[in-house]
Amino acid sequence: GSQKRSNSTPETPRPKRTLSSRSPYALFSPNTFSPSVTPSQKYTSRSSRGEVVASFGSVQGPSWSGRGGAGCTPKLFGPPEENLTKSYKFMFQKALDVREVLSWRIEQLGDALKSHHHLEEFASVLLPAQEPVTVLGQIGCDSNGKLNAKSVVLEGDREHSSGGQIPLDLSELKEYSLFPGQIVALEGTNSTGRMMVVSKLYEV
Q: Which CATH number characterizes residue 106's domain?
A: 2.40.50.140
Secondary structure of residue 109 in the 3-state scheme: helix
Residue 143 lies in a domain: yes
Residue 47 lies in a domain: no
Q: What number is the average pLDDT over the span 174-183?
A: 89
Residue 175 lies in a domain: yes
In Å, how far are 92, 108, 112, 137, 191 from 204, measured between CA atoms?
30, 11, 8, 12, 26
Residue 179 lies in a domain: yes
Enter the pTM of the model: 0.53
pLDDT tens readout for residues 35-72: 566 666 777 777 777 777 777 766 666 666 667 667 77
Domain count along the chain: 1
Residue 149 lies in a domain: yes
Report percent pLDDT > 90 for the chain: 18
Residue 142 lies in a domain: yes
Q: What number is the average pLDDT over the span 145-172?
A: 88
E-strand ranges in the chain read 129-141, 152-156, 165-169, 183-190, 196-203
Domain with 173, as residue range(s), is 94-203
Residue 27 lies in a domain: no
